[in-house]
Amino acid sequence: MNFNRRQNRIAGPGFHINVRYDDQMMAMAHSQAQETVSQLQLGRNHKENYDVKEQELLVCKKSSGMYHDGYTHCISSANGFPLDTSVVAALKNSTPEEVAEAVLSQVKFVGVATTEYKPSKAYSEQGFVAQVGGVTTLINEGESTIKPGDTVALGLNLKIGRKTARDKGIPRDKIRFCLVKAGNSRALANQALAATVGGGSANTTDIKNAEADLKTARAALAKNKDKTKTTALKKAVEAAKATITGYSLCKTGLEGMMDFLDKYQELNERVIGKSASYARPGDRLEVILQPRNPY
């Protein structure tokens, strides 16, 4: 693989841990019996796509059955990612962004691969190490330009026209987790709100439109001088209120609020560090890995 870690422009300590490969998840992803969505079908037959290369982002599945030996079991690709049958059915006609969100909601960032690993008997006794802190060099495989000081988070690009892996020795059809610019608190709150309000049927735009309708209805009622129209205008105000109530974050009480907070915390946990250099899509950049905090 054509990757020279000495190209780092910032020197600093690194913190590393021993991890293990998630063989169970790889077997499920590779199996044709496991259902998945069309955007994740790419390259699931090629075992080389499940190899881990140096400097790839490692993730673990939140509900994996491999965490019984005290080690974190992780992978670096999303090819054939095993989703629940109900999730696959719900994502049948979904956009790449919605599929990516479904995958990201089921994984957690572990670190950056320090050593490569191949899921085979020859590598079963070889050490598998992940860097979880310090300075590391990564490739910007996202769609946006990253600037010094930008907070970066774990992402997944499943768009048809996406740029494939830039490193030599990486299969063209491997779906790797990538870096994306992390949103600020307001952006993350809006994203969490869109995912939880009304069971995902409404977004912040819907709520703003409903609030504008209520404002218009109240203004019309205040200016009304024709008593025959009063009843109709009051009904319009009540209808607008009902619409907003239907979109309310806490329409199911405390449970609705907790769903929002859980999603907001999940989005915050995807933050993996801060950029220390400028990188356009395809360029390398230095990232200062930092502890993942819920807020």
C-beta separation of 30 from 78 below 8 A: no
* 224 burial via Cβ count (<10 Å: 0-12, 13-18, 19+): middle
pLDDT tens for the 295 residues of the chain, in order: 444 444 445 556 788 889 989 888 888 888 866 777 888 888 888 888 899 998 899 999 887 666 677 788 999 999 988 888 878 887 878 888 888 989 999 999 999 999 888 887 766 657 789 999 888 989 888 888 999 999 999 999 887 666 555 566 788 888 999 999 987 888 888 777 777 765 444 556 666 777 788 888 888 878 887 777 778 877 888 877 777 666 555 445 566 678 888 888 888 888 999 998 899 988 889 999 976 544 3
Kindly give, in sequence order, each residue whose CB lies less than 8 Å from that of residue 43, ignoring residues fewer than 6 positions away.
Answer: 49, 79, 80, 171, 173, 174, 175
What does the pLDDT read at residue 278?
Answer: 92
Q: Exposure string (b/e) for 44-81, b if CB count within 10 Å is 16 or more? A: beeeebbbbbbbbbbbbbeebebeeeeebbbbbbbbbb
Q: What is the pLDDT of residue 1?
A: 44
Helix H or strand E segment including 205: helix 204-223
- 293 Cβ neighbours under 8 A, 6+ residues apart: 268, 269, 271
Cα 283 → chain centroid: 21
* CB atoms inside a 10 Å sphere around CB 27: 13
The two structure tokens encoding residue 161: 């026209």
Structure tokens at 163: 């740029």
Contacts of 230 (CB under 8 A, 6+ apart): 221, 224
190 vs 258: CA distance, rounded Å = 15
